[in-house]
Structure 1
Amino acid sequence: MIRHFVTAVSLAMALAIPAAAQVPPFPASFTTQEIATNGTTIHVRVGGAGPAVVLLHGYGETGDMWAPMAADLVRDHTVVVPDLRGLGLSAKPADGFDKKTQAGDVAGVLDALKIEKADLVTHDIGNMVGYAFAAQHPERVTRFVLIDAPLPGIGPWEEVLKNPLLWHFRFGGPDMERLVAGRERIYLDRFWNEFSADRTRFSEAAREHYAKLYALPGAMHSGFSQFAAFDQDALDNQAFLSKGGKLKMPVLAIGGEKSFGPMMATIMRFAAENVEEGIVPGSGHWIMEENPEATVTMVRAFLDKK
């Protein structure tokens, strides 16, 4: 049964994650909010003051991945870190996993926080949500950093789909949910291992932490639904590009050296006019686990440009 909200039982499970299985914490100055918007409820971490920056995570993680980035940016930014619809401690709705709808979640969070415009820093599925937001609300995005994942329907998307490592894009549905129920850690280990340059950099503590969050009721359904929406996302993205043209704000496209590498900038030049390239050395897909120092330095330098 799909839960529309994080139940008391689910929340208790999350809070029961042992300290040994925790990822690096956010600074103590951060607070959390449950923001009701766009037909769901989004779990959001907020800290700092100054120009706003929104950090959007991807599949296999939650907003928790951004703790090292948030600790740096909070010195002179208002940092907003949601869990995407259906993931982490956000509510688990039955639908709305197309990225155009989730862009509405981001807009609702910013409206609730009375933030008119922000920088975007995104990873994986977060790239897709961020692009849908930037394409629909370009006046609200000052700078945009996208990290190590393609955009459905943009540039070499059809070639990307042919990569056998991406079989999970078509993996989903009730039978697949039954297969992974109680085996979430096994399923997720595949991503953390195969998409790392060095699998040992994705720590055991982080694996335990995220596996428990993805075992919450409705979370795996939500994760599969993020991928199942790609065909609709591709149509939406092509419509955004056809109607509004390429993004005009400055864009930094970052790839892990052992993952998308310079291909990220190649992809984004199909969707944006002003694209810089960045490569995280020695890293696969999981940039905040594999080389957080280089990632934070690169993002900080781009956001600080006048």
Structure 2
Amino acid sequence: MKVEVKSNFARLSNVTMHYLTAGSGEPLVLLHGVPQSSHEWRHVIPYFADKFFIIAPDLRGLGDTSRPINGYDKKTVSADVWELLSQHLKIDSFFLVGHDWGGPVAFALAAQHRDAVRKLAILDVTIPGDGAEMSQGGRRWHHPFFRTPDLPEAMFGGREHIYLEWLFDNYGSRTNVLSQEDKAEYFRTYLKPGGFRTLLAYYRGFPSDVRDNEAFLEKDGKLQMPVLALGGDSGFGRGMETLQSLERVADDVRGGLIPNCGHWVAEEAPEFVAEELTRFFAE
């Protein structure tokens, strides 16, 4: 299905944000993960373009969005998205989807603007501050490693592409989930000056994310909008952890597994993901 996807830039208070738009209808916001960009939604967008007006931003410091020195806690990152939607695009109500680190960004956005988020979908990630351990007891070894000051920069300096390619090849359900062309698109932005610094900053913001989310929940309680939580059932997919995490921070949760899928859910199982999201949004 051929769909016109437009590339746009918005000058916001603290970043110049790149974002994709496509389709028409009710607003649907897609927040990507790390080490990805809005490019990760390329296979999903065609399924939605005849039903929704799609907005897929590159998050602060990632993709073709500018790279400030700080502000990578997810409360601040979500504020960029809110400014794009509410002030630049004049959108005050929308459906929201987040994958990987885009999931905690989506949660922070929904927790602060509960009347604006009509429904929330979280894909293959857990929520910092939900009371559980996000790094699977060390199985996701890169979480604490990336939070270690200076060491990742020293080890990966000039060799960032080796780690990125390893991650793409090992965190899916098979090694060839991503083509070399698609990997090259991610390398294009993550290997630019500041690209790997901002990747690390998303992990290093984790302690702030825990405190912020605990404060959101303490102040206003669990999320009340309907929530869909899906995890990949293979390899480094989160499995049922995503659903279990969201049940701890929201009251109206449904979901389960994405079959034959690892962590790169929008690229491994775009048809299944699109069908589940479409059904959820239509309920």
TM-score (structure 1 length as normaliser):
0.87
Structure 1: stretches of 5+ with no match in the other structure: 1-25
Report the equivalent of 2:98. Answer: 122
Report the equivalent of 2:229. Answer: 253
Letter in 2 for 1:49: S
Report the equivalent of 1:281. Answer: 259
**2: distance between equivalents of 1:161 and 1:201?**
23
1:208 aligns with 2:184: yes
1:87 aligns with 2:67: no
Report the equivalent of 1:12. Answer: none
**8 Å contact 1:151–1:157 — kept in the other structure?**
no
**2: distance between equivalents of 1:27 and 1:227?**
36
Give the deviation of 1:289 after TM superposition: 2.1
Tell me whether 48-57 or 170-179 shows the greater mean CA deviation. Answer: 170-179
1:278 is paired with a residue of what secondary structure?
A: strand
**8 Å contact 1:170–1:228 — kept in the other structure?**
no
Structure 2: stretches of 5+ with no match in the other structure: none
Report the equivalent of 2:143. Answer: 168
**1: distance between equivalents of 2:144 and 2:16?**
26
Letter in 1 for 2:169: N
Report the equivalent of 1:35. Answer: 10
Give 1:165-204 correspondences, 5 Å limit. 165-171=140-146, 173-204=149-180
CA distance 1:128–1:38, change in 2 (3 Å): farther
**2: distance between equivalents of 1:222 and 1:181?**
14
2:244 is paired with a residue of what secondary structure?
A: helix
Report the equivalent of 2:112. Answer: 136
Number of aligned residue pairs: 279
Give the deviation of 1:299 after TM superposition: 1.3
Report the equivalent of 1:20. Answer: none
**8 Å contact 2:145–2:152 — kept in the other structure?**
no
**8 Å contact 2:117–2:225 — kept in the other structure?**
yes
Give the deviation of 1:177 after TM superposition: 2.3
Letter in 1 for 2:184: E
CA RMSD of aligned residues (A): 1.7
**8 Å contact 1:116–1:140 — kept in the other structure?**
yes
TM-score (structure 2 length as normaliser):
0.93
Report the equivalent of 1:271. Answer: 249
**2: distance between equivalents of 1:216 and 1:291?**
29
Report the equivalent of 1:46. Answer: 21
